[in-house]
Structure 1
Amino acid sequence: MLYSLRMLLLALHFLLASAFGLLIGLLRPFNRDNSRIFARLYSLPATWLMRIKVKAEVGPLADQPPGCVIVANHQSNFDLFILGRVVPQRTVAIGKKSLGWIPLFGQLFWLGGNVLIDRQNAYQARRAMQQTTRTLQADTSIWIFPEGTRNPSEQLLPFKKGAFHMAIEAGVPIVPVCVSRYTHRLSLNSWRQRTVIVRSLPPIATTGLSLQDLPALIEQCRTQMQHCIDRMEHELPTP
Structure 2
Amino acid sequence: MMRTAFTALALLVGTVLFGSLTLLAELLGRAHGPDSIYTKTPRWWASWLLGAAGVRVVVHGGEHDLPEGASRVFMANHVSWFDIPSMIFALPHYGFVAKREIERIPLFGAAARAVGVIYIDRENRKAAFSAYDDAASKIRAGHSVLVYPEGTRGYSYALRPFKKGPFVLAIGSGAPIVPVVVYGTIAVNPRTEFRASPGTVHVHLLEPIPTDGLTYADRDELAERVRQRMADCLRAHYGVNPAIEPSRRASALKPEQVSA
Output the TM-score relative to the length of structure 2: 0.80
Give unpaired runs (5+ residues) of structure 1: none
Contact conserved, 2:168 with 2:219, CA < 8 A, in 1? yes
Q: 2:206 matched to 1:209?
A: no
Q: 1:14 aligns with which of 11, 14, 17?
A: 11
Q: Which amino acid aligns with 2:202?
A: I
- CA distance in 1: counterparts of 2:56 and 2:200, whole angstroms: 5
Q: Distance in 1 between the 2:186 and 2:12 partners?
A: 23
Aligned partner of 1:77 in structure 2 is 81
Task: Give the 3-state SS of the residue equivalent to 1:175 in structure 2.
Answer: strand
Cα contact 2:81–2:189 (8 A) shared by 1: no
Q: CA deviation at 1:67?
A: 1.6
**What residue is the counterpart of 1:218 in the other structure?**
223
- List 4+ stretches of structure 1 deviating above 6 A: none
Partner of 2:58: 55
Q: Distance in 2 between the 1:75 and 1:237 partners?
A: 12
Q: Give structure 2 stretches of 5+ with no counterpart.
A: 241-253
Shift in CA distance, 22/53, structure 1 to aligned 2, threshold 3 Å: closer
Supply the distance in 2 between the matched residues of 1:227 and 1:211 (Cα, whole angstroms).
Answer: 25
Looking at structure 1, the residues matched to 74 and 196 of structure 2 have their Cα atoms a distance apart, in angstroms, of 33
Determine the structure 1 residue equivalent to 2:126. Answer: 123
Q: In structure 1, what is the Cα distance between the partners aligned to 2:80 and 2:40?
A: 21
Task: Give the aligned residue type for 1:104.
Answer: L
Alignment of 1:145 with 2:148, yes or no, is yes
Whether contact under 8 Å (1:68, 1:175) holds in the other structure is yes
Could you tell me which of 97, 122, 146 is aligned with 2:100?
Answer: 97
For residues 102 and 189 of structure 2, the distance between their equivalents in structure 1, rounded to whole angstroms, comes to 25
Amino acid at match of 1:215: D
For residue 126 of structure 1, give the secondary structure of its aligned residue in structure 2. Answer: helix
Q: Matched residue pairs, number?
A: 233
- Cα distance change of structure 1 residues 185 and 136 upon mapping to structure 2, 3 Å threshold: closer
Contact persistence 2:184–2:200 (CA under 8 A)? no
CA distance in 2, matches of 1:80, 1:186: 12
Label 1:86 to 1:58 Cα distance change in 2 as closer, same or farther (>3 A).
farther
Please state whether the residue corresponding to 2:200 is helix, strand or coil.
Answer: strand
- How much has 1:161 moved relative to structure 2? 1.2
Instruction: For 1:75, give the aligned amino acid.
Output: V
Counterpart selection for 1:200 from 199, 205, 208: 205
After TM superposition, list the pairs within 5 Å mapping 1:30-69 onto structure 2: 31=32, 36-59=39-62, 60-61=64-65, 63=67, 65-69=69-73
Supply the distance in 1 between the matched residues of 2:196 and 2:221 (Cα, whole angstroms): 43
Q: Give yes or no for contact 1:69–1:175 (8 Å, CA) kept in 2.
A: yes
Counterpart CA distance in 2 for 1:156 and 1:94 is 19
Identity %: 30
Q: Once the 2 structures are TM-superposed, how far is the Cα of residue 28 of structure 1 from its aligned partner?
A: 3.2
State how far apart, in whole Å, the 2-side matches of 1:210 and 1:50 are. Answer: 43
